[in-house]
Amino acid sequence: MKFLLRGRQALYGFLERVLAQQHYVRLARPERGVVRRYLQKLTGVSRAQVTRLIGRWLEKREIQPLPLHRPSFPRRYRSADIAVLARVDAAHGDLSGPALRRILQREYQVYGQAEFERLADLSVSHLYNLRHSEAYRRRRVRVEPTRGRPVPIAERRKPDPQGRPGYLRVDTVHQGLHDGQAGPYHINSVDTVTQWEVLGCCEAISEHHLIPVLENMLEQYPFPILGFHCDNGSEFLNYRLAALLNKLLVEFTKSRPCRSTDNALVEGKNGAIVRKHMGYGFLPRHSALAIHTFYRQHFNPYLNFHRPCGFATIEINARGKRRRRYPPDHYRTPYEKLTSLPIWKTYLKPGVSSDSLAQRASQLSDTQAALTMQRAKAAVFAAVPHPPASPQSRSPLMLRERGLKRRPLSPNPNPRLKLPSRKDTASHPSQP
Taking only the tens of pLDDT, the chain with its 432 residues reads: 667 777 888 888 899 999 999 999 999 999 999 999 999 888 888 999 999 999 999 988 888 888 877 777 788 898 899 999 999 998 988 889 999 999 999 999 999 999 999 999 999 999 999 998 988 988 887 666 777 667 778 888 888 888 899 999 999 999 888 777 888 999 999 999 999 999 999 998 888 888 999 999 999 999 999 999 998 888 888 888 888 888 888 899 998 888 888 888 899 999 889 999 988 888 888 889 999 999 999 999 999 999 999 898 888 888 888 888 888 888 899 999 999 999 899 999 998 999 999 999 999 899 999 999 999 999 999 887 665 554 444 444 344 444 444 444 444 444 444 444 544 444 444 443
What is the per-residue pLDDT for 1?
A: 67
Pick the CATH number of 159-381 from 1.10.540.10, 3.40.50.2000, 3.40.190.10, 3.30.420.10: 3.30.420.10
Which residues on adjacent β-strands are paired with residue 310?
331
DSSP 408: P
Residue-range domain boundaries for the chain: 8-60, 79-139, 159-381
How many residues are listed for the chain in this entry?
432
What is the per-residue pLDDT for 148?
A: 66
Q: Which of 259, 268, 269, 270 is nearest to 157 (CA)?
A: 259
What is the per-residue pLDDT for 289?
A: 92
Name the phi and psi angles at 182, rounded to 5.
-85, 145
Dist. CA 38–CA 264, nearest whole Å:
68
* Residue-by-residue DSSP string for 42-98: HH---HHHHHHHHHHHHHHSS--PPPP----PPP-S-HHHHHHHHHHHHHHTS--HH
Which residues on adjacent β-strands are paired with residue 167?
227
What is the per-residue pLDDT for 415?
A: 43
Calculate the alpha carbon distances from 224 to 77, 221, 301 in Å: 65, 7, 18
What is the per-residue pLDDT for 72?
A: 75
What is the per-residue pLDDT for 328?
A: 84
Global pTM reads 0.58
